[in-house]
Amino acid sequence: MNQGKYVFSQIVTFLPARIFDRCVSSFQGDKWVKHFTCWNQMMCMMFGQLSNRDSLRDLLVCLTAHKTKHYHLGFGKNISRSNLAEANEKRDCQIFEMYAYELIAEAQKVCISNVDFDKSITGNVYAFDSTTIDLCLNVFWWATFRRAKGAVKLHTLLDVRTAIPVFMHITPASVHDVNGLDFITYEPGGYYVMDRGYIDYDRMATIDKHDSFFVIRSKANLSFVRISAEIPDKKKGILCDQQIKLKGASSIEKYEKILRRVKFYDTEQKRSFVFLSNNLTLPATEIALLYKNRWKIELFFKWIKQHLKIKSFWGVSENAVRTQIYIAISTYTLVAIIKAKLKLKQSPYEILQIMSVSLLDKTRLPSLFENPLYQDVKDQNLIQLKINLILPDTSDNGQTFRV
């Protein structure tokens, strides 16, 4: 019999505990706490994320069934539904926000780039977007969005090379997406890729002032004056490569510098895209490739909504919702760190699926991923076989039926 640690205990060894203690001390999270500490709270919440629990009651039913293992799993000795619910409601969510950023910094160091850009792109590449998380207005009364609907919005800046979120900001869903740009600390030489909903000339000028670059999909009604144009490489899908200036008094006042306008034809989708950028030297094909990699943030939102619990919440207060979102992001980052440090070939989805059924086993963590058959698991496989099964009829007419 394996006398080692539980798989969940092996997973949490990848978490820097001392850094978490520093985060807790910054906000006095464990002040007057005797038994159920912030660490115990995060362990319970992470266990629920990894085991895919649907509710707080569902989580506590599972934990109560393994009460003798609580100490070894890091849950503490006095865990109850009321303790966990009260902790999520009252303990400052900034503890888990700060710790999520610490894990993100660690992940950026160890995660290997999975995107190949031209050597001319030396800075970091980020994709910025937001996603709306729907909430029931009758329960989450503070999350007003529309007359009969509640929601919050998660603004995220994703490092395209490592697929790690480096910035998160939660706002009411009524806040426009473009306002999320006001909270970003821009990195000189970095590239910020956004969809056309983020076109705002004042904020584009702010990015330019920080010696950063942006690539934004243009709107159809853009008014401009062409200054010069390069010979397009139509074999690579470049229909035009122009240097332009905005037209209109208000637009010129907000952004008076020269812009790059690149029109690209995508043969796969059979449609054309127009991009704007303040980088005047990068090849036009690289501008198109930068925007193509913006899709990674859409995949990130899809992944955390499908495989982590940020759509069904285990608390109704704003603090509880924020706490759960930050712990979900920490769980995603933890999976990325484990994948990088153990050099696993499986995708994050496959790793999470294997972990979810092995948390209370006493198997060595690396041995769970040695079977190459796991690499055949797909995130979503919509291809189904159509089976025609002919069944004999037992009635008097002797007909057969095709199912």
Asked if pLDDT for residue 403 goes beyond 50, the answer is no
In whole angstroms, give the CA distance from residue 100 to residue 98.
5
**pLDDT tens, position by position, 245-283:** 998 888 889 999 999 999 999 888 888 999 999 999 999
* pLDDT of 234: 87
In whole angstroms, give the CA distance from residue 379 to residue 301.
14
* pLDDT of 384: 37
| Straight-line distance from the first to the last Cα atom of the chain, in angstroms, rounded to the nearest whole number | 48
| Residue of 327, 329, 326, 324 lying closest to 313 (CA atoms) | 324
CB-based contacts of 249-257 (< 8 A; 24+ apart in sequence): 251/201, 251/223, 254/201, 254/202, 254/205, 255/201, 255/202, 255/204, 255/205, 255/208, 257/205, 257/208
Asked if 314 and 324 touch (Cβ cutoff 8 Å), the reply is yes
Asked if pLDDT for residue 128 goes beyond 60, the answer is yes
**pLDDT tens, position by position, 40-73:** 999 999 999 998 888 888 888 888 888 888 888 8
Please state whether the predicted TM-score (pTM) of the whole model is above 0.75.
yes
- Mean pLDDT along residues 87-107: 93
| Residue of 274, 294, 289 lying closest to 121 (CA atoms) | 289
Going from the C-alpha of 77 to that of each of 34, 64, 339, 348, 352, the distances in angstroms are 11, 11, 31, 32, 27
- Judged on CB neighbours under 10 Å (0-12, 13-18, 19+), 393 is exposed
**pLDDT tens, position by position, 212-244:** 999 999 988 889 999 998 888 888 889 999 999
* pLDDT of 317: 87
Strand partners, 132: 153
**pLDDT tens, position by position, 159-175:** 998 889 999 999 988 89
* pLDDT of 139: 76
- Judged on CB neighbours under 10 Å (0-12, 13-18, 19+), 376 is exposed
**pLDDT tens, position by position, 141-158:** 778 787 778 888 999 999
Which residue type, as a one-letter code, is found at position 327? I
Residue-range domain boundaries for the chain: 7-96+315-376, 205-211+218-279
**pLDDT tens, position by position, 316-348:** 888 998 999 999 999 999 999 999 999 988 888
**pLDDT tens, position by position, 345-376:** 888 888 888 998 999 998 899 999 887 554 44
Q: Which residue has the higher pLDDT, 92 or 74?
A: 92
